[in-house]
Chains A and B, each alone.
Chain A
Amino acid sequence: MPWPTITLSLIAVGLVILALGGYLTPLSRLTLSPVIAVQTWVSERFQAVQFYLSAPRDVAQLTRENESLTAEVAHLQTQIIELQQQLGEFRILSALLDFARAYPEYQYVGASVIGRDPSPFVKYIHINRGSDDGLRRGMPVVTQQGLVGRISQVTASAALVQLITDPSVTVNVRLEPTRAEAILSGSITGDIGLDLIPQAVTIEPGELVLTSGLGGNYPPNILIGQITGVRSQDYDLFQSASMQPVVDFSNLEIVLVITNFQPVDLSPLIPTPGTP
């Protein structure tokens, strides 16, 4: 074996022994520190370059994912709104069903309110049911709360309902519990009031106002509202009263039309001038 090889082998064995004995640690630290620093720097630069090169692909992917998630969120929000609307309609229909159960003697057709009269001088609503659904002129219209009005014009697929707040409307009503008769009339302001209440009757705020059925235009015992104030003068023939309707006429969505009530036409019985 030549001498250089033996020398190198000995040096190597010696270094290994020194390393195993921990005597080379300070030296290795001293030697490795700059190497590690350089390696770290190189690695960081490489990672930066790698990120720069691969980033556009990631952004594009993220953008796609973002668009997909945004679309999904929008879709879910739409579903939430639809479900909320369905829930609202379900509540209204449920209440209407309660009303129908409370008055089983009548047959009903449900209808949605699709518009209001373009003139602010009259109080009419449009509903999406017409003569094809069995609706006829004069049929009473109600909600779960009470009386709304009656049908005044009908087409094949829609109808015009005159609300009881219309200024030209009068309804024969009865007060409970006094059972006094009165006349309800609408007004241009949308408020409704009672008139022709006999002076002999003592009425108090809070009394209920129901249809009396007199005149044959509306079925009896349908709730309309509650008396809020009474105006009575000794020199007047009759008392009058203000009332709060139970139906919110500004927010009508779904109504029920009573289809088996036939209004009575009393006009032939009313004497006209010149008739014997």
Chain B
Amino acid sequence: MIPVLAAFPVFALLAILQTAIVSRIPLLQGTADLVLLVIIAWALQERVRTAWHWALVGSAFIGLASALNFYIPLIGYLVTTALALLLRRRIWQTPLLAMFALTLLGTLISHITTALSLSVAGTPLPWLETLEIITLPSLFLNILLAAPVYAIARDLAEWLHPEAIQI
């Protein structure tokens, strides 16, 4: 229960950091997505059983902070979580590699979902330009932050899920 409740202050803080600082430091038009990175890093932790809960709470906070419809980040984060859980079982021995791979996939999934939704809603989005000035710079920033976020998530997971010691 505590790991699920811990998601609320964590994502509240992340949403504040994302809107107040990270979104104000763009590379071209792309920005890092701290919430996505934490969701991926959390889902990759071996002891964690609350990946879906964290993805839902993260989506809810971003849905509240963003002008996008709430289901757009929700779809992107849930699909990324599913991939993370799938990949955790396959390449659990190299979690950092999995983190980088999922950062790549998660960013692409999240951006494709957003771009498709906006296009359906009638917003003109030139695909090549979107890729060049939003997706690729965002991907670069996310990959840059992936390793430190993974390290913080690992420490948090060890703190919230202490290993049982046999006496």
Contact = CB atoms under 8 A, between A and B. Distances in A.
Q: Does chain A bind chain B?
A: yes
Interface of A: 114-122, 124, 126, 152-153, 160, 162, 167-168, 185, 187-190
A124 B138 CA distance: 18
B19 A118 contact: yes
A120 B31 CA distance: 6
A122 B23 contact: no
Interface in B18-75: 18-20, 22-24, 26, 29-31, 33, 35, 62, 65-68, 72-73
A173 B66 CA distance: 28
Contacts of B22: 118
Overall SS of chain A's interface: loop
25 contacts: A114-B19, A115-B16, A115-B19, A115-B20, A115-B24, A117-B19, A118-B19, A118-B62, A119-B66, A119-B68, A119-B114, A120-B31, A120-B138, A121-B111, A121-B114, A121-B115, A121-B118, A121-B130, A122-B67, A124-B67, A160-B67, A167-B124, A168-B121, A168-B122, A185-B124
B134 A121 contact: yes
A118 B65 contact: yes
Given A188-B129, A188-B134, A189-B129, A117 B65 contact: yes
B78 interface: no
User: Which of A115, A116, A120, A153 has the most chain B CB atoms inside 10 A of its CB?
Assistant: A120
Contacts of A120: 23, 26, 29-31, 134, 138
Contacts of A126: 19, 65
A114 B24 CA distance: 10
Nearest to B114: A121
Interface of B: 15-16, 18-20, 22-24, 26, 29-31, 33, 35, 62, 65-68, 72-73, 111, 114-115, 118, 121-126, 129-130, 133-134, 138
A118 B21 CA distance: 10
CB-based closest 8 A-B pairs: A115-B19, A116-B23, A124-B67, A168-B123, A118-B18, A115-B20, A120-B31, A167-B123
A184 to B, nearest CB: 14
A122 B31 CA distance: 12
A189 B28 CA distance: 8
A122 B73 CA distance: 13
A185 B22 CA distance: 26
A160 B64 CA distance: 11
A121 B112 CA distance: 11
B32 to A, nearest CB: 10
A41 B146 CA distance: 70
B145 to A, nearest CB: 14
A116 B30 CA distance: 13
B29 A188 contact: yes
A234 B87 CA distance: 57
B67 to A, nearest CB: 4
A115 B118 contact: no
Contacts of A119: 66-68, 72-73, 114
A116 B65 CA distance: 9
Contacts of B67: 117, 119, 122, 124, 152-153, 160, 162
Nearest to A185: B124
A43 to B, nearest CB: 64
A199 B124 CA distance: 24
A114 B16 CA distance: 10
A124 B19 CA distance: 10
A241 to B, nearest CB: 17
A189 B128 CA distance: 12
B68 A121 contact: yes
B25 to A, nearest CB: 10
